[in-house]
């Protein structure tokens, strides 16, 4: 599988940020890491190997990016408003730096599907739901989509606009809803094993259903735990058979 490593000093985040690119052609898959992990996490845990055949076929090209979660909601020593601000800067980094990099690397405005597991699933889903005019769908695996689960009681307008279970029920703009409804695919997936939270996925699915957003709620078995073996089964299945 073709692999490239890129990086630049991010003006949005004022730090160096790396991106790993896998493949040559196809629509783009933007991968968000779990928890406080980095851009090579999916490679280290052998998930990239499970989708190698899909990438090598030219169906998609994968862009795996860094997180800044340890500088935001996972940093217990940080003042909550600063966590909220840092999250906003990360959103800016995605839109103003990563998206243009993807378009440039693909030599055109290819569709971009967001994906990730655990906290990466939250970022993937939130990124798509916030900007369906830019992103074409999402594969969210084992996520929780209520930002209050991470904000430790802190809540401001920025938290609201980054918490899908809060802002989606109030979304009524027809243009925005049409953009979400005309997607390439929205998959909300979870297992039912240890440390999984299927109710979080069911809650989000109910909201999407109420807004007429086509999607697939995938509740896998009790043997599917919140861990890499689950995600190594899920992502190749969804990318290979559902897109």
Taking only the tens place, the pLDDT of each residue in 53-110 is 999 999 999 999 999 999 999 999 999 999 999 999 999 999 999 999 999 999 999 9
Q: Tell me the Ramachandran region of residue 173: left when phi exceeds 0, alpha when psi lies from -120 to 50, beta otherwise.
A: beta
Whether the pLDDT of residue 242 is over 90: the answer is no
Q: Tell me the Ramachandran region of residue 180: left when phi exceeds 0, alpha when psi lies from -120 to 50, beta otherwise.
A: alpha
- pLDDT tens, position by position, 174-216: 999 999 999 999 999 999 999 999 999 999 999 999 999 999 9
What CA–CA distance (Å, rounded) separates 102 from 42? Answer: 18
Question: Per-residue confidence at 243, pLDDT binned at 50, 70, 90?
Answer: confident
Calculate the alpha carbon distances from 122 to 49, 110, 118, 139 in Å.
23, 23, 7, 10
CATH code where residue 209 lies:
3.40.50.1820
Which domain, by its residues, includes 206?
3-241
pTM attached to this predicted model: 0.97
What CA–CA distance (Å, rounded) separates 162 from 147? Answer: 7
């Amino acid at each position: 599988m073709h692999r490239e490593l890129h990086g630049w000093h991010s003006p949005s985040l004022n730090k160096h940020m790396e991106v790993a690119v896998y493949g040559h052609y196809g629509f783009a898959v933007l991968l968000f890491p779990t928890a406080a992990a980095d851009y090579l996490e999916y490679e280290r845990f052998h998930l990239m190997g499970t989708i190698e055949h899909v990438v090598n076929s030219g169906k998609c090209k994968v862009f795996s990016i860094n997180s800044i979660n340890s500088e935001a909601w996972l940093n217990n020593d940080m003042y909550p408003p600063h966590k909220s601000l840092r999250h906003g800067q990360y959103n800016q980094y995605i839109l103003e730096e990563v998206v243009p990099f993807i378009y440039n690397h693909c030599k055109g405005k290819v569709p971009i599907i967001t994906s990730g597991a655990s906290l990466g699933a939250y970022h993937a889903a939130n990124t798509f739901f916030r900007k369906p005019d830019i992103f074409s769908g999402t594969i969210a695996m084992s996520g929780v989509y209520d930002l209050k689960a991470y904000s430790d009681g802190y809540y401001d307008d920025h938290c609201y606009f980054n918490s899908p279970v809060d802002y989606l029920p109030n979304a009524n703009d027809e243009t925005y809803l049409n953009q979400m409804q005309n997607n390439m695919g929205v998959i909300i997936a979870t297992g039912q094993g240890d440390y999984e939270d299927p109710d979080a996925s069911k809650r989000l699915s109910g909201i999407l259903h109420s807004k007429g957003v086509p999607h697939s709620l995938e509740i896998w078995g009790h043997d599917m735990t919140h861990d890499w073996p689950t995600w190594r089964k899920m992502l190749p299945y969804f990318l290979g058979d559902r897109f």
